[in-house]
Structure 1
Amino acid sequence: MTTTRLPLFPLNTVLFPGLVLPLNVFEARYRALLRDLLDLPEGEPRPFGVIAIRDGHEVAPSALGLPDDAEPPAGAGAGFADDPMRSFFEVGCVADASTIRARQVPGEAEDATAADEEVTGYEVLATGTTRFRLLSVDAGGPYLTGEIEPLDEDAGEGAGALASGVLRAFRKYQKALAGANERTLAPAQELPDDPSVVSYLVAAATMLHTADKQRLLQAADTATRLAEELRLLRQETALISKLPSVPGAEYTIRPTSLN
Structure 2
Amino acid sequence: MGAILPVFPLGTVLFPGLVLPLHIFEERYRTLVRDLVATTDDDPHEFGVVTMRQGLEVPIGFESESGDGDGEPPDGPPVDAAQLYDVGCTAELRQVTELPDGRFDIVTVGRRRFRLLSIAADTQPYLTAEVEWLPDEEPGDPIAGLLAPRVLAAFRTYLDLLRPDSEVLDQVPEDPTVLSHLIAATAQLTTDERHDLLAAPDTATRLRAELRLLNREAGLLARVRAVPVPLSDLARPVSPN
Shorter-chain TM-score category? Answer: 0.7 to 0.9
Match for 2:201: what amino acid? Answer: A
Q: Which has the higher contact order (CA 8 A, sep 6+)?
A: 1
User: Displacement, 1:194?
Assistant: 1.2
Aligned equivalents of 1:157 and 1:206: distance in 2? 24
User: What corresponds to 2:108 in structure 1?
Assistant: 126
Contact in 1 for aligned 2:93/2:108 (Cα 8 Å)? yes
Contact in 1 for aligned 2:59/2:73 (Cα 8 Å)? no
User: What corresponds to 2:15 in structure 1?
Assistant: 16
Aligned equivalents of 2:183 and 2:157: distance in 1? 12
Count of matched residue pairs: 212
User: Displacement, 1:240?
Assistant: 1.5
TM-score, normalization: structure 1? 0.74
Superposed CA deviations along residues 151-183 of structure 1, whole A, max 9, x for unmatched, are: 113456711111111111111111111145x9x
TM-score, normalization: structure 2? 0.79
User: What corresponds to 1:153 in structure 2?
Assistant: 136
Listed as ranges, the matches of 1:59-74 within 5 Å are 59-60=59-60, 74=73
Residue 97 (structure 1) aligned with residue 80 (structure 2) = no
Rate the CA distance shift 1:169–1:79 in 2: closer, same or farther, 3 A.
Answer: farther
Contact in 1 for aligned 2:4/2:120 (Cα 8 Å)? no
Contact in 2 for aligned 1:153/1:222 (Cα 8 Å)? no
Listed as ranges, the matches of 1:167-186 within 5 Å are 167-180=152-165, 186=169
Contact in 2 for aligned 1:75/1:143 (Cα 8 Å)? no
Same amino acid, percent of matched pairs:
41
Superposed CA deviations along residues 196-221 of structure 1, whole A, max 9, x for unmatched, are: 11111110111111111001000121
Listed as ranges, the matches of 1:69-80 within 5 Å are 74-75=73-74, 78=76
Give the gaps of 5 or more residues in structure 2. Answer: 62-71, 227-241
Contact in 2 for aligned 1:11/1:58 (Cα 8 Å)? no
Aligned match for 2:177, one of 196, 220, 242: 196
DSSP-derived class of the 2:224 partner: coil
User: What corresponds to 1:30 in structure 2?
Assistant: 29
DSSP-derived class of the 2:173 partner: coil
Cα-Cα RMSD: 2.6
Match for 1:54: what amino acid? Answer: R
Residue 219 (structure 1) aligned with residue 200 (structure 2) = yes
Contact in 1 for aligned 2:148/2:207 (Cα 8 Å)? yes
DSSP-derived class of the 1:215 partner: helix
Aligned equivalents of 1:59 and 1:20: distance in 2? 24
Contact in 1 for aligned 2:89/2:110 (Cα 8 Å)? yes
Rate the CA distance shift 1:162–1:233 in 2: closer, same or farther, 3 A.
Answer: same
Rate the CA distance shift 1:17–1:79 in 2: closer, same or farther, 3 A.
Answer: farther
Match for 2:175: what amino acid? Answer: D
Contact in 2 for aligned 1:6/1:146 (Cα 8 Å)? yes
DSSP-derived class of the 1:18 partner: coil
Match for 2:174: what amino acid? Answer: D
DSSP-derived class of the 1:223 partner: helix
